[in-house]
Chains A and B, each alone.
Chain A
Amino acid sequence: MHPLQSLKISISGVRGIVGEALTPLLLARFAQAFGGWCGGGGVVLGRDTRRSGEMACQAVVAGLLAAGCRVLDAGIVPTPTVQYNVPRRGAAGGVIVTASHNPEEWNALKLVGPDGLFLSPLQAEELLDIYHQEDPPAAEQPARHVAPLPDAVARHLQGVLARVDVAAVRRRGFRVAVDAVNGAGSVMNPLLCEALGCELVPLHMHAGGGFPREPEPLPEHLGELCDLVRSSGADLGFAQDPDADRLALVDEGGVCLGGEYALAVACRHVLERCGGGRVVVNLSTSRAVDDAAGLAGGTVRRSKIGEINVVLDMRRQGAVIGGEGNGGVIDPALHYARDSFAGMALILEHLALHGRTVTEALAGIGRYVMARAKLPRPPLREVGRMVAAVRQAYAGRGDATVDTRDGVRVDLPAGWVHLRASNTEPILRIVAEAAELATAERLIAEVRATAGV
């Protein structure tokens, strides 16, 4: 395999294929650099359920102790659980061992600063500087303290529940089907459902043992959940990725609406509660969010792709809700993190307070279809040329809006199309959205022709 396809060290952290580029040596060294960046103190550690998690966590513990950091080991917990706990434990940082929605043979480190946010690009550059020094930062004496953090999930759950009208949700007595892909969400879903008085219809809810489906919660991977919603008569269904930051939504008829509509309902709900406000979502997020904001008197701003970019824009613009269309709901009053539990709680509260079904909650919000193309990434110089060509071709058109902050996104009356180089994989992504699949596919074809790819 080409080396670029088995390892990526970037401002998003380190990720790679276990047994190839991602060795315990590399993980420990990266963790030690992070421990140095933290400057000692406590670091909250969590992981998802992939089989390499134990090995990777031990390597991270070695690196953190060598840098003089105490380790607060939360074990198998969702990514947002670590993010929630870091500032509330006075920790200097957090590490989550997870390759998120990537296949089981991958693993990665997600790194959290003392404020519970992922490292900003500037902070991450600082970390990479430390990592690239010949000698990793070593404490004169390695730290020795590794303490379990058994109530990490309970604390996070309290925070989530404090954001919603628990009594109202309990009165509705929802039946909720949840597919946790045997990931870290498995440890928290039953607690959330119990607290909200929901009857949980669990699917793949064992923490560990391998992923039973493709781990990315895309509609095409969630057939089992859709069947289960229908057969169990559930009011709705939710699906998570292995580290439970992302959330997909299935309606009461067993139709998978994916992450875009989970975000749209959450946005509508929070904007209605606040009487309007600012929403920040990324450039590849559906117009469903714009429709939802329109219904609730909110305004939408778009940011570059990547959780930290969305979060930083949300903070700058005082957004009341935001996220990424692939299923990451960020409720800033809880914390600046994509949090599937926050998303579930907000959606359930919306249905409960308004007495709606999922379909009713989406009334007035357009139904859009996305088309995606994933191409081998050309040299970066070429990507720049493509962006320029697309910008030039559409900039003169009166019906087009062009945004070049992250690749190039073109908005047209019939839909939009976004072309960019992935931050995490050596690929070129093109996403288009329209009311009809054929239209979206046509937009992709047009952009490919213009870009010459």
Chain B
Amino acid sequence: MVSAFGPAAAAPRPLRISIAGIRGAAGTALTAELAMRLAAAFGTALHDDGGRPAVLLSRDTRPSGPMLAAAVRSALLAVGCDVVDLGVCPTPVMQWAVSHRGCAGGLAITAGHGPEHWNALKFVGPDGVFLDGQQGAELLDHFHHNRPRWAPTGELGTLTADSPEATQDALAAHQTAVLALIDRDAVAARGLRVAVDLANGACCAAAAALLEALGCHAIAVNDEPELPFPHAPEPTPQTMGQLRALVRAGGADLGLAFDADGDRLGIVTDQAVALTAAYTLALAGRAVLPREPGVVITNLSTSRLIDHVAERHGSRVERVRVGQSYIAEGVHIHQGVLGGEGSGGVMFPRLALAHDSLCTAAHLLDLLVRERCRASDLVADLPRYAWRELTVNLPAGEVVHRLTDLRAWAEDEVSDASVDLTEGLRLAWPDGWVHVRSSITEPAIRIVAEADHDEALEARLEEVVRRVRE
């Protein structure tokens, strides 16, 4: 359940520049000029490592993609980077290609699950991983310093673009690597019926190719990348109505909802039940951990479903801040065997440190075949927790004060829960948790809570909300 409190629901800020890149309303806030300046800063930073950097580009299907791609290409060429533009291509495929082609970096033009008229630039290092905090801070230093290393004519980069072969090569190589992680032949032998909703996003071609390689009978909707998003490009139960109907009508074994750029995946069971995105990580854990127990990295706001699965399969969970780059960093530090977030993004370290909906889909199909079970059986086997999410809108400037007060209260007065101040405040009890953090898009505080039972959840939530609002 999601609800909003607060005085005046403040308008979302149209632009945010952070260590995670830049995002905003395309054309008005995220302008060609800003995109160029940030891309030029990125290219300039890549030169610090010496050599002649090559950068891979990808984008999702947002209408502002071509404009921003042109801006980014020109800026990178102008600072002496060679550019290979994969065009419309899933972000994880670009990330995989960066590390396997020896590129100096990559740049994804996608606002992920954000609104269609928004867009963002996200930056990838030579390892194919989103920039970590330190790298992101350095990029921002270059951006703020605003002295791009403009190259003279003879040192400008070269552009490879509009090359379907280059994109096809990247997709094929990535698919081969994904299939090597599962039992392709066994899956193909089952001939599963799979309903997919591509959200007219970047996975249209890649998902079709993957399902074909896995011998699945695919029933697809919204697989036209030229058309607008049919619904919010985020795999939540609210956006999966069409997919549920498709599963029901087509008698599918599974329904899969892809987001706009291919990092997140949502699931509809054979019973046409749309699962919250937290189940994606839990079921990925079911697929990976029995064969490869170890550490799972997730974020502070993700359901304990993954803890349950990990425990059952001799594994444990480490929690980090919200965001793909933190998950990747955590996987790296803890030698994790799986990473992921409650948003539906899961990373498989054997493939890459990138949320990857295609690899997730392959693992889920492999799981159904290996366990000879239905998706609904797997879900029935998992506990059901009480869950609440809410947003408290605040006057601008108040967010920091309220969070500071709340953290002080927790440290001084809360004794029955463990206190984690990694990001905002997270209180954890043996049977649940509450996570309070600042919104990154608007002056507001987001609160997420989970518990075994409603009563405990309500009581804890009520106290936290009261303190945030007063």
Residues of A within 8 A of B (CB): 18-20, 23-25, 27-29, 32, 50-52, 54-59, 61-63, 65-66, 104-105, 107, 136, 138-146
Q: Which residues of A contact B71 (CB under 8 A)?
A: 24, 28, 58-59, 62, 66
**With A32-B32, A58-B77, A62-B36 given, is the CB distance from A141 to B150 under 8 Å?**
no
Tell me the residues in window 359-381 of chain B with beta carbons closer than 8 Å to chain A beta carbons.
Answer: none
Q: Pick the contact of A142 from B27, B74, B156, B158 — CB < 8 Å?
A: B27
Binding site for A on B (CB under 8 A): 26-28, 31-33, 35-37, 40, 63-68, 70-71, 73-75, 77-78, 117, 148, 150-159
Contacts of B148 in A (CB 8 A): 23
A-B pairs, top 5 by smallest CB distance, nearest first, are: A58-B74, A65-B67, A62-B71, A59-B74, A142-B67
Point out the residues of chain B lying under 8 angstroms from A139, CB to CB.
27
List of A residues within 8 angstroms of B28 by Cβ? 138, 140
Structural contact, A63 and B32, CB atoms closer than 8 A:
yes
Which A residues are in CB contact (< 8 Å) with B66?
61, 65, 142-146
Q: Is the CB of B156 within 8 A of A61?
A: no
Please state if B63 and A66 are interface contacts (CB–CB under 8 Å). Answer: no
Question: B154 near A62 (CB under 8 angstroms)?
Answer: no
- The answer to whether A62 and B68 touch across the interface, beta carbons within 8 angstroms, is yes
Known: A28-B32, A59-B75; 8 extra A-B contacts, CB below 8 A, are: A18-B152, A58-B73, A59-B70, A62-B74, A65-B66, A141-B64, A144-B65, A144-B67
Distance in angstroms from B444 CB to nearest chain A CB is 26
What are 15 pairs between A and B in contact, CB < 8 Å?
A: A19-B153, A23-B78, A24-B71, A54-B159, A55-B73, A55-B78, A58-B70, A58-B77, A58-B159, A59-B36, A61-B70, A66-B71, A104-B153, A138-B28, A141-B117
Does B158 lie within 8 Å of A144, measured CB to CB? no
Chain B residues near A50 (CB-CB < 8 A): 153
Most B CB contacts (10 A, CB to CB) among A18, A24, A139, A141 go to A24
In whole Å, how far is B280's beta carbon from the nearest beta carbon of chain A? Answer: 31
Assembly CA distance A305 to B426 (angstroms): 74
Whether B67 and A143, one on each chain, are in contact in the complex, defined by CB atoms closer than 8 angstroms, is: yes
| Complex contacts, A104 vs chain B, CB 8 Å | 153
Residue of B nearest to A210 (CB): B154
Q: How far is the CA of A59 from the CA of B66 in the complex (A)?
A: 12
Secondary structure call for the B interface: helix
B152 touches A54 (CB 8 A): no
A65-B70 contact, Cβ under 8 Å, with A28-B32, A142-B26: yes
Which of B36, B63, B117, B159 lies in contact with A24, CB distance below 8 A? B36
Q: B67: which A residues are within 8 A, CB to CB?
A: 61-62, 65-66, 142-144
State whether B156 touches A51 (Cβ < 8 A): yes
Tell whether, in the assembled complex, residue A25 and residue B37 are in contact, meaning their CB atoms are under 8 Å apart. Answer: yes
Judge whether A19 and B150 touch: CB under 8 Å.
yes
Q: How far is the CA of A132 from the CA of B148 in the complex (A)?
A: 23
Q: Is the CB–CB distance between A54 and B158 below 8 Å?
A: yes
Contacts A25-B36, A62-B68 given; does A142 touch B77 at CB 8 Å: no
Once bound together, how far apart are the Cα atoms of A27 and B150, in whole Å?
13
B37 near A142 with CB under 8 A, answer no
Look across to chain A and name the residue whose beta carbon is closest to the beta carbon of B39: A24
For the complex formed, measure the closest distance between the CB of A148 and the CB atoms of chain B, giving whole angstroms.
9
- Contact between chains at A19 and B151 (CB < 8 Å): yes
Contact partner, B33, options A25, A51, A107, A144, Cβ 8 Å: A25
Which of B32, B77, B148, B159 has most A Cβ within 10 Å? B32
Out of B27, B157, B158, which one reaches A66, CB within 8 Å? B27
CB distance from B53 to the nearest CB of A (A): 15
Verify A24–B74 contact, CB threshold 8 A.
yes
Chain A: which residue is nearest B85 at the CB level? Answer: A58
Of B37, B75, B117, B153, the contact of A51 (CB 8 Å cutoff): B153
Assembled-state Cα–Cα distance A115/B277 (Å): 56
- Tell me the complex Cα distance, A51–B152, Å: 10
Q: Which of A55, A56, A140 has the most CB of B within 10 A?
A: A55
| Listed residue (A54, A107, A143) with the most chain B CB atoms within 10 angstroms of its CB | A54
Within the assembled complex, what's the spacing in Å between the Cα atoms of A63 and B154? 24
Task: Using A50-B153, A62-B70, A105-B152 as known contacts, say yes or no to A138 and B77 having CB atoms under 8 A apart.
Answer: no
Distance between Cα atoms of A317 and B189 in the complex (Å): 81
Complex: A94 Cα to B40 Cα, angstroms: 27
Cα A136 to Cα B70 in complex, Å, equals 17
Question: CB-nearest residue of chain A relative to B34?
Answer: A25
Cβ–Cβ contact B75 & A24, under 8 A? yes
With A24-B75, A58-B73 known to touch, is A142 a contact of B153 (CB < 8 Å)?
Answer: no
Known: A18-B152, A19-B152, A27-B74. A66 touches B65 (CB 8 A): no
B153 contacts which chain A residues (CB < 8 A)?
A: 18-19, 50-52, 104-105, 107
Q: Given B75, B117, B150, B158, which contacts A20 in the complex, CB threshold below 8 Å? A: B150
Closest-CB distance, A416 to chain B (whole angstroms): 38
**Distance of A198 from chain B, by nearest CB (Å):** 34
Q: How far is the CB of B56 from chain A (nearest CB, A)?
A: 16
Write the nearest CB–CB distance from A65 to chain B, whole angstroms.
4
A142 CA to B65 CA in the complex, in Å?
Answer: 9
Q: How far is the CA of A32 from the CA of B27 in the complex (A)?
A: 11
Contact call A144/B151, Cβ cutoff below 8 A:
no
CB proximity of A24 to chain B, nearest CB, Å: 4
Please report the C-alpha to C-alpha distance between residue A24 and residue B150 in the assembled complex, in whole angstroms.
Answer: 9
B146 shortest CB reach to chain A, Å: 10
Within the assembled complex, what's the spacing in Å between the Cα atoms of A136 and B36? 15
Chain A contacts for B68, CB-based, 8 A: 62, 142
CA distance A287 to B155 in the complex (A): 44
In the bound complex, do residue A52 and residue B32 qualify as a contact, i.e. CB atoms below 8 Å apart? no
Give min CB distance, A72 to chain B, whole Å.
14
Give the residues in chain B near A32, CB-CB below 8 Å. Answer: 32
Q: Which of these, A54, A55, A62, A105, contacts B32 with CB under 8 Å?
A: A62
Chain A residues within 8 Å of B154, by CB: 51
Closest partner residue, chain A, to B61 (CB atom): A144
B119 — nearest CB in chain A belongs to which residue?
Answer: A142
| CB closest chain-B residue, reference A57 | B74
Nearest neighbor of B75 in chain A, beta-carbon distance: A24
Are the C-beta atoms of A56 and B74 separated by less than 8 Å? yes
- Taking a contact as CB atoms under 8 Å apart, the answer to whether B157 and A55 are in contact is yes
Chain B hits for A51, CB < 8 A: 153-154, 156
Known contacts A28-B33, A54-B77; A141/B158 CB under 8 A:
no
